[in-house]
Amino acid sequence: MISNRKIRRKIEQGAEPKGPSGSKVWKILVFALVVIALVVLVPFGISNLTKGSSAEGQQPEPTPSVAPETPKASASPSPTDAFGTGPQAISNAPSASYAPVTIPPFKEPTVDTGNPESVAKAWAYVYHSRTSEDDIQRLQLTNPYVADALEDPLVSRSTDRTAPLAGLGASHMEAVKFSKNETKDTPIRWARNAEVTVQTDAGPKLVIEYEIQVNATDSGWQLTQASELGWTEKTEK
């Protein structure tokens, strides 16, 4: 006969779960983690090693250098137009060297205020013929045939450092040529474009362009506009 103690022991032994022991399970887990780590990390390390070797074998490309731009010379127009509505001319100062020129003495012109062209010619001569750069007294000669509103602006412009004749000393008007402005000319308004040739005692000879208007008034024809359009240096051929 089997005793109750033996029967109980067999029952307890049959109830114990079968399978690997706890130590075996831990060993399996550790082994699995090591394998995973090798699978993940080894290729990554090889890749970095290959890149490092490749980088060491290459020389860095030189960075191209850009030379700074040389500022370009530029000229700016006068901020205001003292003689009309258009912007003042842009001009470069003469660059060549010149021999001084003897300027003829100033002579007051004879003016016929009943003739608009005579008025325009007289103004052109007086305005561009001077004994020095500071000579502004001569401009008073034009008062009878220049509109009051134009007198002060003409004086200011004649001594402006951006004016065509600035820095060129005494000067003399050699010639003036008029061309009709068809769009503005009327029976009571003589409208012309003018080219004034001026010799300076510093040497350069300039051609200064204007838009001119001479209007009929009760006291005769008067210059009402002398808008400076530009100027160029005239070279003798």
Of 136, 122, 90, 103, nearest to 205 by C-alpha is: 103
**pLDDT class of 7 with cuts at 50, 70, 90:** very low
Question: pLDDT (tens digit, 9 = 90+) per residue, 123-159?
Answer: 999 999 999 999 999 999 999 999 999 999 999 999 9
Of 130, 212, 211, nearest to 166 by C-alpha is: 130
Question: pLDDT (tens digit, 9 = 90+) per residue, 162-220?
Answer: 999 999 999 999 999 999 999 999 999 999 999 999 999 999 999 999 999 999 999 99
Residue pair 127/154 in contact by the 8 Å Cβ criterion: yes
Determine the pLDDT at residue 73: 29
> Cβ of 35: how many Cβ atoms within 10 Å?
10
* DSSP-derived secondary structure for 106-142: P-PPP--TT-HHHHHHHHHHHHH-BSSTT--GGGGGG
* 15, 16, 135 from 8: Cα distances, Å: 11, 13, 141
- All domains of the chain in start order, with CATH: 116-234 (3.10.450)
